[in-house]
Structure 1
Amino acid sequence: MLIPSFYVPFIFFYKADESRGLTSSNHVHLSQQLKQSLSNTLTSFYPLAGRIEDDVVVVDSCDSGVEFIEARARVQLMNVIQGPEIEDLKQYLPLDPTTGEARRLLVVQITFFDCGGVALALCFSHKVADCTSIVAFANAWAATCRGETEVSRFSFNLGSYFPARDFPGSDFWGFLLSDENYVTKRFVFDEEKLAALKQEATSSSLKDPTRVELVSAFIWKIFMEVAKSKNQEARKAYAALHAVNLRARKIPPELLQNVFGNCMMSGLAFSDANVTCDQYEDVDELRDLVSKLRSSFKRISDDYIAESQTGDRYLNDLYEMLSQVLKGELEYCSFSSWCRSPVYEVDYGWGIPIWLGTTALPLKNLTVLVNSRCVEGIEAWVNMKQDNLEMLETQFKLIPSTGLKDLDACG
């Protein structure tokens, strides 16, 4: 499989709401309600109750169940989510996503705060599900918890659309896993910062860059600048890998719309290759990188997907890129956007989440993009080496901003 074995963490935070029954005195009832609705939901998402077998290729749908952990935090929820620290957020997870192989496919933890609010964390194995799939599961579970009987149904036949193939670079994926040299930091791009980036990137040939394009290009640019400063004589190319959801790109879209699994490919964008540091001064402007990212997204068309279904087009492109990395000819950073996933619609009957967080990320040079609570902004969770993060923070602070905290700005 093309996805290495690791967990992706989601933490949904819900503010106390007495009118909806979310209070500090109602925790036992809430816990039982969650467990029962989870059990009912798993009948429609049965693979998540299984395990990864020893060969880490086959999912054993053994109905082993999902581990459900209850915890209590003697703090106020709002104190946790205002300026959250990554290490502090880890305690609201049922496990450390950066250690060990993801044999269990889904692990859940509910944490009750003194104020009556809760944090509901889901850690899922990326071996079996992408962000679209797991958010669909979360919304189905939430609907069941609210008492709804009609929930969306999903198929688990992704393999019939994309038959299994041998990939000679499969051993490479262990190289991508993060280690102690990598640190995760959160950056909040508010409306004013995004407007400033948009003004810089827009040109006569590049219209209406999206929020995801702008933030991804900005981070990619800083990543390249740091890499080039370390070895100014090196002649390297720099790539950005961006996860692309195939469900809306396949024609007709309904074909893959309700398919559960890793229904995605990486769009591959490359900087101008084989130039040294001093030659880069006027080459990779923000607008150039936005344009390259956009082209990489457009390349994953219905025709490209069809050729990858019946042949090895995508695998060949990916293998060529990975071969350059192993030869030391190319450095990369990768991105995954959750901005189109309805994470702020996951309502278990207590109202929508006040915030969605994640924690330390398991892959080197990975950035996860999520809508801020106000939707107009974007939170970038960046996992890189410390010197990359320091440069990124320096340049980030130079972008004009309102200076308002993202949660406070939403009221």
Structure 2
Amino acid sequence: MASSLSSSSSSSSLKFTVRRSQPQLVAPAIPTPHELKLLSDIDDQEALRFQVPMIQIYGKQASMAEKDPVEVIRKALSQTLVFYYPFAGRLREGPHRKLIVDCTGEGVMFIEGDADVTLAEFGDSLQPPFPCFDELLYDVPGSQQITDTPLLLVQVTRLKCGGFILALRFSHTMVDGFGYQQFMNAWAEMARGATKPSIAPVWRRELLMARDPPRITCNHREYEQIQDTLPSSNHNLIQRSFFFGRLDIAALRKSIPQHLQHCSTFDLITACLWRCRTKAMQIEANEDVRMMCIVNARGRFNPSLPVGYYGNAFAYPAAVTSAGKLCQNPFGYAVELINKVKGEMKEEYLQSVADLMVMKERSLLFTTVRSYIVSYLARTNFRVIDFGWGEAIYGGVAHAGAGGFPAVSYFCSAKNGKGEEGMTFSIFLPAEAMERFTKEFNDMLRNQNQPQSTSNFIRSTL
């Protein structure tokens, strides 16, 4: 499965190289506690044992002309690690595959780079997938391991125009999207001169440990093990990005019945993608298809998880139906399925997942057969992370796919070429399926009585 993401084709004409320094370790600015910290039983499940690539793109800022972004960001990182010192440690695997953070204070990996290219040369490529991403984030040999390696890999690349790109990879076992945003905000605050984060980090991973004895109390269809009778379609994949604007969302909402008008933007766009992707893949009508919805559980606890908790606090309950029902029923059918499965996410559901992980010794992987996963990160808006150079031109996940599983899309806050606020997502599909998906996606928006869709195909390729 891990090899499938590397087979995407490229149509971007922009090619460049980055002159890089040797990777170095950035340690906390002052000594930090040397101790062992257990990850939660949600953190260390098999599905999260990978590193997530992120990217922040910043333009030139006249008021920062005398400042070197590499030095500012490196120093602020060292200061931030004083408060988030577990990130400066290393993961170890204990009995029953339990992951433990050894807070050694060794630091995270940092690379300085210079590229002979301007932001203007990227054109409309300032959305995933990014040209020459392997130049913007050097894959240091051995750095993608889960244990005994730095938990954060950072590269800051200066551009010829005065802008810069911050690309990084973080271990998903340490944080989820909200936790990552909290860490990044703290880092940016330190870069702007703060002496401590405005939100103090909270570890408290014991809050999401399995019960003793563990007991499964919910139906977890996201973990059903299914035999795939068809040959793999994860070959010769390409990636394209698409944009959802305000009018696109309004158009989708017009097409659902009154009793579903309470449904969220997430429900609408997830249902839209699920239908379009299923049609594009030409799945047999009698075959079951799954949409796993990543749902944040922070506000679903009583009492809520503490402010500042930066561990993983989500599950991905699965909506399941046949391909025929999904594609032949009105659009509201898919929306209702998504809305219903999201409603299953309560404190008890996440507790049941933690118990399941312990009972299976963390080795259980989600169902990959005819499955699709959507993560809605638009609410976190990584573009507002300001290291002193203002809002990012793009901030978010660097490409679709996760941990070698290509059928994962992330929604990130973005602007389109006309300056309209909205969100972008990218998707991996075989070339022929991608053409069908593009047509289904555009037709679906066009058919919702919208005079002119603001949705636009942004770019293909990784």
Q: TM-score range by the shorter chain?
A: 0.7 to 0.9
Q: 1:217 to 1:404 in 2, by over 3 A?
A: closer
The amino acid that maps onto 2:380 is S
Deviation at 1:301, TM superposition (A): 2.2
The CA RMSD over aligned residues, in Å, is 3.7
The amino acid that maps onto 1:195 is A
Deviation at 1:321, TM superposition (A): 9.9
Report the Cα distance in structure 2 between the residues aligned to 1:237 and 1:246, rounded to whole angstroms.
27
The amino acid that maps onto 2:242 is F
The structure with the largest helix share of the pair is 1
Report the Cα distance in structure 1 between the residues aligned to 2:264 and 2:300, rounded to whole angstroms.
18
2:291 aligned residue:
240
Q: 1:219 to 1:59 in 2, by over 3 A?
A: same
Report the Cα distance in structure 2 between the residues aligned to 1:115 and 1:48, rounded to whole angstroms.
32
Report the Cα distance in structure 1 between the residues aligned to 2:327 and 2:291, rounded to whole angstroms.
19
Which residue of 425, 429, 436 maps to 1:391?
436
Report the Cα distance in structure 2 between the residues aligned to 1:240 and 1:96, rounded to whole angstroms.
34
Normalised by the size of structure 2, how large is the TM-score? 0.72
Deviation string 1:236-262 (CA, Å, 9 cap, x unpaired) is 221110111111221233x34321211
The amino acid that maps onto 2:316 is S
Which residue of 112, 123, 131 maps to 1:88?
131
2:206 aligned residue:
159
Equivalent pair of 2:182/2:308 in contact (CA under 8 Å): no
Q: 1:280 to 1:163 in 2, by over 3 A?
A: closer
Equivalent pair of 1:93/1:121 in contact (CA under 8 Å): yes
Q: Percent identity?
A: 22
Aligned-partner SS, 1:58: strand
Deviation at 1:43, TM superposition (A): 1.2
Aligned-partner SS, 2:189: helix
1:12 aligned residue:
56
1:268 aligned residue:
318
Aligned-partner SS, 2:370: strand
Deviation string 1:149-190 (CA, Å, 9 cap, x unpaired) is 241111222233323879999998xx9xx9654433211112
Give the 5 Å matches for 1:16-31: 16-19=60-63, 21=64, 23=65, 26-27=67-68, 30-31=69-70
Aligned-partner SS, 1:248: helix
| 5+ residue gaps, structure 1 | none
Deviation at 1:205, TM superposition (A): 1.6
Deviation at 1:303, TM superposition (A): 4.6
Deviation at 1:217, TM superposition (A): 0.8
Deviation string 1:75-119 (CA, Å, 9 cap, x unpaired) is 11133252346251513223399x953443111111111110111
Q: 1:346 to 1:109 in 2, by over 3 A?
A: same
2:253 aligned residue:
198
Aligned-partner SS, 1:36: helix
Q: 1:183 to 1:49 in 2, by over 3 A?
A: farther
Deviation at 1:282, TM superposition (A): 3.4
2:238 aligned residue:
183
1:218 aligned residue:
272
Q: Which moved more, 1:346-355 or 1:379-388?
A: 379-388
Normalised by the size of structure 1, how large is the TM-score? 0.80
Deviation at 1:313, TM superposition (A): 11
The amino acid that maps onto 1:211 is T
Q: 1:404 to 1:292 in 2, by over 3 A?
A: closer
Q: 1:96 to 1:361 in 2, by over 3 A?
A: farther
Runs of 4+ in 1 over 6 A off after TM superposition: 164-172, 313-316, 318-321, 404-407
